Amino acid sequence: MKKIIITIDGYSSCGKSTLARQLAEQLDYLYIDSGAMYRAITLYFIQQRVDWADHVQVKNALENIHLQFVYNQISGRNEMYLNEENVEQLIREMLVAEKVSEVAAIREVREFAVAQQQKMGLQKGIVMDGRDIGTVVFPHAELKIFMTADPAVRVERRFKELYEKNKNITLHEVKENLELRDYIDANREVSPLRKADDAIILDNSQLSIEEQLELVKQWVEDAVLEHSS
Ligand code: CDP
Ligand code: CDP
């Protein structure tokens, strides 16, 4: 079967990475979590006390950042490495979530990340999720999905996930963070979160993980067929 590029964009905690990971597994595609890259850059800026309002500091810091996805046999997942250190857990923490949208709005940061993401797409058979994948990173992708879900459902989903790891987290804190990130992501000057004109909308407020996967697998088949001729 012909391999294609699948992009999944949308608001935070809709289930993009869950869907992208499952699709990649079933289709034997490469899954790239572009958000992990912005999270890792943010972690570096926090750790190194980079003042990201200062463009010179940002440029210098980016020169010292090496990002890599490394496959972990045990988890069966690609994990994020920042300067040869596994930061997969650290980048999911609230400390990073609180700042990542500010950092991801910086032009130099986006150019740095997008260039690497486009290189990864040179070989087809890739599923990438994020905010600007269908609009900026792969504008010619064969299948573009724009995911959305009721905000209350999204808050509940993310809260459950974070609470399992940290019992101190509150629903209010998670709600505030999601609202803030969605606002910054959708309103920034550079590559704002936006549905690509040719993206299919997937509202999964009422869909289980299994149901959404079945639906999208059909879309993949259709897209492959359409682009095989
Ligand atoms: O928490 P969630 O999985 O929804 O977010 P993420 O995919 O890990 O992305 C974290 C943040 O990175 C987003 O809120 C955006 O600010 C930024 N991001 C972006 O600007 N462009 C992308 N392609 C991916 C993420
Ligand atoms: O990548 P994104 O931030 O869009 O979301 P995610 O990390 O894939 O999913 C957030 C949470 O929602 C996870 O705990 C998923 O298991 C859950 N989820 C769900 O309950 N039902 C769905 N239809 C999709 C995701």
pLDDT, one tens digit per residue, over 91-118 is 999 999 999 999 999 999 999 999 999 9
High-pLDDT (> 70) share of the chain, %: 100
Q: What spacing in Å lies between the alpha carbon of 130 and ligand 1's midpoint?
A: 6
pTM above 0.95, yes or no: yes
2 annotated to bind ligand: no
* pLDDT, averaged across the chain: 96
Q: What spacing in Å lies between the alpha carbon of 84 and ligand 2's midpoint?
A: 28
- Ligand 1 pocket test target in 185, 195, 204 with most atoms within 8 Å of CB: 185
Q: Number of structural domains, the chain?
A: 1
The reply to whether 41 falls in a domain is: yes
The reply to whether 214 falls in a domain is: no
Between 228 and 112, residue with greater pLDDT: 112
Compute how many other C-beta atoms are within 10 angstroms of the C-beta atom of residue 95: 12
- Which CATH number do you get for residue 185? 3.40.50.300
Q: Which pLDDT belongs to residue 1?
A: 82
Secondary structure (DSSP) of 91-124: GGSHHHHTTHHHHHT-HHHHHHHHHHHHHHTTSS
The reply to whether 87 falls in a domain is: yes
The reply to whether 213 falls in a domain is: no
Q: CA dist 13 to 10, 88, 109, 115, 179, Å?
A: 9, 17, 22, 25, 11
Domain carrying residue 34: 5-205
The reply to whether 34 falls in a domain is: yes
Q: What spacing in Å lies between the alpha carbon of 57 and ligand 2's midpoint?
A: 35
Asked if the model's pLDDT at residue 223 lies above 90, the reply is yes
Q: Which pLDDT belongs to residue 55?
A: 96
**CA–CA dist 146, 7 (Å, integer):** 8
The reply to whether 211 falls in a domain is: no
Taking residues 195-219, what's their average pLDDT? 97
Phi-psi region of 36 (alpha: psi -120 to 50; beta: other; left: phi over 0): alpha
pLDDT confidence band for 123 (50 / 70 / 90) = confident
The reply to whether 216 falls in a domain is: no
Q: Which pLDDT belongs to residue 124?
A: 82
For residue 100, the one-letter residue type is V
The reply to whether 128 falls in a domain is: yes
For residue 140, the one-letter residue type is H
Q: Is there an atom of ligand 2 within 6 Å of 181 CB?
A: no
Predicted complex ipTM? 0.98
Element (H, E) at 171: helix 171-187
Asked if the model's pLDDT at residue 229 lies above 90, the reply is no
Q: CA dist 16 to 61, 83, 103, 154, 174, Å?
A: 29, 26, 21, 11, 17
